[in-house]
Structure 1
């Protein structure tokens, strides 16, 4: 038996596809056969690690013992697995894509599939909308790349406050936030100047370099399943401000006094407030949170040090080593 992963025909490899590729690598490492399946050529195929076999959709042959893994936004790709009566698995990395592509006469609870959620909030969403209890398989980040540099510090008198942001995460809304915080600081006659560090189309190493020289990371992503950019920012010593996208609350915990907290149940975690979070799309709330972050950076008091400490505790739980162990345990218990 083997595990086959469907890779959608996308112009470039996405964060979600990178997570699936990492799972395939982990399975290969433990000696379990895994294969990546492509329906049509995509430019990123050539960059796929050579030790993981690939095959074309038309050449795919599945048995009843095989595991057929499909991303949540591509339900029609389940057909080969359903026809072969293979063990079909839907890996749900973004709750927002779960129901949108299903045919009108189909529902997830009617299909013989196992679901894996990328986070506890996503598992909660799956349970509430389908009645299905999903396994949870969180992603991991490379802490050899994403870590706090020994020389990182903020000296307000020497330079502007650097805020990293990603235009691919609700760009128009991010621009509104940038314009609004500029207006707010101006109205208060603040001497604080801001430098916006755009992170776009960069390698992990380049992303890390940007984060290591930034003071704040503005998280504007929603909807999210288990967003890695804020997690990478926490690992690099940034003060994370912004949205959780629902799935981010797998690891995000509020450090903003009287700040927003979700209405849905949150797990008890071994860390506390690790960022300054607001409700998704709350521009004014984000402005207040950014102001608070700026004050923290200027004062550099124990409150800020506590946030950094909780961030450090957080990212250790999302290491690639923990991800490897989680993949191994999940497959050994349920799929091997």
Structure 2
């Protein structure tokens, strides 16, 4: 269940702080990850805040963390020691404005394929006075390096929320296919039509669309679905297939590039990008898989998802910020009684 978020208004932080920018209501999974970063940093004893866009509506947000929040406006004055963490989708005009601020600016890049929404090219990003960078996967870091980025990217893998594994406990699977069409709204209609034509024996298998749902609602749909049809595309990592694995689904489809970090022949029926007939075949294979073999594959998927746990996330996050802050790290610690 969502909790009310505590809102903090400051004119200037008494001590140097870490600010992650965000907005309410949440519109994408990446925004939830930023909330998770702030919540975890607070638990770990760091002075961190969620810096809200002035247009944000604060009420009951769609995330389960009690995090201190600051509205971005004139009363807020940054010091030279403050850190401002921006998403990779920040517009170029905003990056230009941020360069004039006194604080240190870092990027949290959760999708390398969105990098050029903020910068014209890698040379422009390398020339920008970035103090550091965070990213969501080894794939994202390595991709940015291959493209020529000189930023010292710190990898912090997101964690798969426990909603998904808990939802699967004691639930009987239905012979249905869950899917999230957001990344491929046109392609999914073609894939479904092709599947019906090639394998008419599965024509009565229902497809359940996941759209505009809370995390618990998504977990509920996945928990009762035998199959998750992955429509991942241009991902930095791709959490939905991992969430489906945690919920006990047989995962079929695309890894979205970033999913190569976890996709194996043992944990899913993965398909080469653009191979529509292979996509249909993967669904057919999953629907006709013998029960014992299906159970083995589900367990492999659950083990894969379990590797993206909270302990790993917090350890990587703490290590990343210790490296970014260096010798000044103690200045960003919360008082012991906070």
Give the match's secondary structure for 1:146: helix
Aligned to 1:137: 156
> Superposed, which structure 2 residues align to 1:290-309 within 5 Å?
290-296=283-289, 299-302=290-293, 304-309=294-299
Per-residue CA deviation, residues 231-264 of structure 1 (Å, 9 max, x unaligned), is: 11000100011111111122122x2xxxxxxxxx
Aligned to 1:3: 18
Aligned to 2:185: 171
- CA 1:142 to 1:104, structure 2 compared with 1: closer, same or farther past 3 Å? closer
- CA 1:66 to 1:81, structure 2 compared with 1: closer, same or farther past 3 Å? farther
Asked whether the equivalents of residues 164 and 223 of structure 2 are also in contact (C-alpha less than 8 Å), the reply is no
Aligned-residue RMSD, C-alpha: 2.4
TM-score normalised to structure 2 length: 0.82
Per-residue CA deviation, residues 259-303 of structure 1 (Å, 9 max, x unaligned), is: xxxxxxxxxxxxxx211111233322201111111121xx2233x
Asked whether the equivalents of residues 37 and 60 of structure 1 are also in contact (C-alpha less than 8 Å), the reply is no
| Correspondence 1:222 to 2:222 | no
Aligned to 1:246: 257
Aligned to 1:327: 317
| CA drift at 1:204 | 1.0
In structure 2, stretches of 5+ residues that fail to align are: 1-15, 330-338
Aligned residue-pair number: 306
Which range is displaced more, 167-176 or 58-67? Answer: 58-67
TM-score normalised to structure 1 length: 0.83
Aligned to 2:272: 279
In 2, distance between residues paired with 1:146 and 1:191? Answer: 27
Aligned to 1:234: 245
Asked whether the equivalents of residues 147 and 237 of structure 1 are also in contact (C-alpha less than 8 Å), the reply is no
Which range is displaced more, 171-180 or 55-64? Answer: 55-64
In structure 1, stretches of 5+ residues that fail to align are: 256-272
Asked whether the equivalents of residues 38 and 57 of structure 1 are also in contact (C-alpha less than 8 Å), the reply is no
| CA drift at 1:61 | 2.0
In 2, distance between residues paired with 1:170 and 1:295? Answer: 26
Which range is displaced more, 230-239 or 31-40? Answer: 31-40
Asked whether the equivalents of residues 117 and 137 of structure 1 are also in contact (C-alpha less than 8 Å), the reply is yes
